[in-house]
């Protein structure tokens, strides 16, 4: 394509510079985690190629050392190519090849070729999707899972702490029968436990990588068995069970694995939205709302109203959820780039996938540290239970559904309690103490007997 002027101080070459000029789109380069994963692939491939006699051992060692430097983040500024580039990610693959070749050449004091040596036995079409999946798996393992595990522990601790606190349950945002605050939090802890299982399932699926398919999935120019050896080295480097896919044509021609993995992330995000939103509702007040919970005060909430404190940690998390749901749409739409033997929307899918993992990990950890762990229960929940109209539910098996409904209606109209009106209707106080025991109503078999409707 002719000559290309490259800045004298640049570690990359003509292919990278041409891509920098071709894609002045967002100013956002590929994520650092993606570059790290790509460098690990180059490192492992160099060792495999040396083992198979395809690279001189000294050259391989130079490539390994250079790739290690890149993976450690020492040359992040040498990766300037925009996310919105060639759909196969070839530009970024060549960026990595050129930077690693340059560094290795300096170390070796001899020429190292970006294609012939650093990219030996590889194609952008298998290294880029492998880097996407490997980077996501590493991020789930190092960032998301620890954050979810901390949040699960925090919620489970609150479930135990709040187990004796009986409050009014609500369905349709209307008063329902009593529930223990600890039971609600056990439900939230269960949601996060399920999220952890989903994240681990996604992690496992991502670890089946396309490496070895080269251009179209056939493995042309890649020695037999090389990808398996390289995957074993990647497993050793990361501590994750990286393995070669058993169907390269599926793995390179589609984003099925990434779509499924991000679907798990969307489920996790929306699960966190439910938990955070419930905490926000129960903390609404402190005087004119539900106010059953007191959230930790983290910062002043208003520039005009002195003393106002807002649930800002919850708001931060819900905005992350919005971003993750948007990323899920972007990744799903990226499947439209799956044409014949290759997907050509991989860079944007990779950026969205990694952003979702990092955001969810950071937001979940922050929610745990700055909202859940300092959460306090107020007296408001127990105080409202005796006034609850749905206490009449416990009387329905004794006096019938219609009579209990009339009792609730009368209590609402008069402002009196179910207990007071039931006493007037002749139910003995001792029976009411048993039937209207709020704690008993929160346990299996609680209430007056089998419901009639």
pLDDT score of 453: 40
Q: What is the pLDDT of residue 452?
A: 44
How would residue 448 be classed by pLDDT, with cut points 50, 70 and 90? low
Q: Has residue 198 got a pLDDT over 50?
A: yes
Q: Which CATH class is domain 130-281+309-376?
A: mainly alpha
Query: What is the average pLDDT score of the chain?
Result: 96
pLDDT in tens, 130-166: 999 999 999 999 999 999 999 999 999 999 999 999 9
* pLDDT for position 449: 54
> What value does the mean pLDDT take over residues 317-338?
98
Q: Which residues are catalytic?
A: 172, 302
237-260 pLDDT, tens per residue?
999 999 999 999 999 999 999 999
Residue 1 in this model has a pLDDT that exceeds 80: no
Read off the pLDDT of each residue in 381-410 and give the average, rounded to a whole number: 92
Q: Where does the pLDDT of residue 30 fall: very low under 50, low under 70, confident under 90, or very high at 90 and above?
A: very high
The CATH 1.10.275.10 domain(s) of the chain lie at 14-120
Topology adopted by domain 14-120: Fumarase C; Chain B, domain 1 (1.10.275)
Q: What CATH number has the domain spanning 386-441? A: 1.10.40.30
pLDDT at 380 (0 to 100): 95
Mean pLDDT calculated for residue range 266-292: 96
- Domain(s) labelled CATH 1.10.40.30 in the chain stretch across 386-441
Does the pLDDT value for residue 267 go beyond 90?
Answer: yes
Range(s) for CATH 1.20.200.10 in the chain?
130-281+309-376
74-131: per-residue pLDDT in tens? Answer: 999 999 999 999 999 999 999 999 999 999 999 999 999 999 999 999 999 999 999 9
What string of H, E and C letters represents the secondary structure of the chain?
A: CCCCCCCCCCCCCHHHHHHHHHCCCCCCECCHHHHHHHHHHHHHHHHHHHHCCCCCHHHHHHHHHHHHHHHCCCCHHHCCCECCCCCCCHHHHHHHHHHHHHHHHHHHCCCCCHHHHHCCCCCHHHHHHHHHHHHHHHHHHHHHHHHHHHHHHHHHHHHHHCCCCEEEEEECCEEEEEEEHHHHHHHHHHHHHHHHHHHHHHHHHHCEECCCCCCCCCCCCCCCCHHHHHHHHHHHHHCCCCEECCCHHHHHHCCHHHHHHHHHHHHHHHHHHHHHHHHHHHCCCCCCCCCCEECCCCCECCCCCCCCECCHHHHHHHHHHHHHHHHHHHHHHHHHHEECCEECCHHHHHHHHHHHHHHHHHHHHHHHHHHHCCCEECCHHHHHHCCCHHHHHHHHHHHCHHHHHHHHHHHHHHCCCHHHHHHHCCCCHHHHHHHCCHHHHCCCCCCCCCCCC
- Rounded average pLDDT over 330-353: 98
pLDDT at 332 over 90: yes
């Amino acid at each position: 394509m002719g000559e290309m002027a490259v800045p004298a101080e640049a570690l990359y070459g003509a292919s990278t510079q041409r891509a920098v000029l071709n894609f002045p789109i967002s100013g956002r380069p590929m994520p650092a985690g993606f570059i790290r994963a790509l460098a690990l692939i180059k490192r492992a491939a160099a060792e495999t190629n040396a083992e198979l006699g395809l690279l001189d051992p000294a050259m391989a060692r130079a490539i390994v050392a250079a790739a290690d430097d890149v993976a450690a983040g020492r040359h992040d500024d040498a990766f300037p190519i925009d996310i919105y580039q060639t759909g196969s990610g070839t530009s970024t693959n060549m960026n990595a090849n050129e930077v690693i070749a340059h560094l290795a050449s300096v170390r070796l004091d001899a020429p190292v070729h970006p294609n012939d040596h650093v990219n030996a036995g590889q194609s952008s079409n298998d290294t880029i999707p492998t880097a996407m999946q490997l980077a996501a798996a590493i991020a789930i393992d190092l960032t998301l899972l620890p954050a979810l595990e901390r949040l699960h522990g925090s919620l489970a601790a609150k479930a135990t702490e709040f187990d004796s606190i009986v409050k009014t349950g609500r369905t349709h945002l209307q008063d329902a029968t009593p529930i223990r605050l600890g039971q609600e939090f056990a439900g939230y802890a269960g949601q996060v436990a399920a999220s952890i299982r989903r994240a681990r399932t996604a992690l496992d699926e991502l670890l089946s990588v396309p490496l070895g398919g080269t251009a179209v999935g056939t493995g042309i120019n890649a020695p037999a068995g090389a990808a398996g050896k390289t995957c074993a080295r990647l497993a050793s480097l990361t501590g994750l069970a990286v393995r070669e896919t058993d169907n390269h044509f599926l793995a390179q021609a589609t984003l099925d694995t990434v779509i499924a993995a991000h679907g798990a992330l969307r489920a996790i995000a929306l699960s966190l939205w439910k938990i955070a939103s419930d905490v926000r509702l129960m903390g609404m007040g402190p005087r004119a709302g539900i106010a059953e919970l007191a959230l930790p005060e983290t910062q002043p909430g208003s520039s005009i109203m002195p003393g106002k404190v807002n649930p800002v940690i919850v708001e931060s998390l819900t905005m992350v959820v919005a971003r993750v749901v948007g990323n899920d749409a972007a990744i799903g739409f990226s499947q439209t780039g799956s044409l014949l033997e290759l997907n050509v929307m991989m860079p944007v899918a990779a950026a969205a996938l990694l952003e979702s993992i990092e955001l969810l990990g950071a937001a979940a950890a922050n929610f745990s540290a700055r909202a859940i762990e300092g959460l306090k229960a107020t007296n408001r929940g127990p105080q409202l239970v005796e006034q609850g109209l749905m206490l009449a539910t416990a009387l329905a098996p004794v006096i019938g559904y219609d009579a209990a409904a009339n009792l609730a209606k009368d209590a609402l109209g008069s402002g009196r309690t179910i207990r007071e009106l039931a006493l007037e209707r002749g139910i003995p106080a001792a029976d009411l103490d048993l039937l209207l025991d709020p704690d008993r109503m929160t346990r299996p078999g609680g209430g007056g007997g089998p419901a009639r409707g």
